[in-house]
Amino acid sequence: MIGCLCLHGFTGAPYEVEPLANYLSNHTDWKVAVPTLPGHGEQLSLRGIKKNDWIGYAEAQSLSNC
């Protein structure tokens, strides 16, 4: 099984990569995950968030979802 983690951009949200994630889910046998990065979401709160927070979160999501 192939895992694919689709990450949104800075100050973005999963909706940015949903079309790609949906396409991959529908046309491959890949397990696709689209997490919301720390500091993003319904309320943008990036204060105190560092790039290593995003990297660590992405790695954890990859291991648990892909």
Q: pLDDT per residue over 6-60, tens digit each?
A: 999 999 999 999 999 999 999 999 999 999 999 998 788 988 999 999 999 999 9
Answer whether residue 48 is part of any domain: yes
Rg (CA), the chain: 12
Count the domains in the chain.
1
Answer whether residue 23 is part of any domain: no
Answer whether residue 66 is part of any domain: yes
CA–CA separation, 61 and 64 (whole Å):
5
pLDDT band at 65 (very low <50, low <70, confident <90, very high): confident
State phi, psi for 25 to the nearest 5 degrees: -65, -40
Answer whether residue 27 is part of any domain: no
Answer whether residue 45 is part of any domain: yes
Answer whether residue 20 is part of any domain: no
> Domain range spanning residue 42?
1-15+36-66
Query: What pLDDT was estimated at residue 14?
Result: 95
Contact 6, 21 (CB under 8 A): yes
Query: What pLDDT was estimated at residue 22?
Result: 98
Answer whether residue 25 is part of any domain: no
Q: Which two tokens stand for residue 30?
A: 């890949």
The model's pTM is 0.83
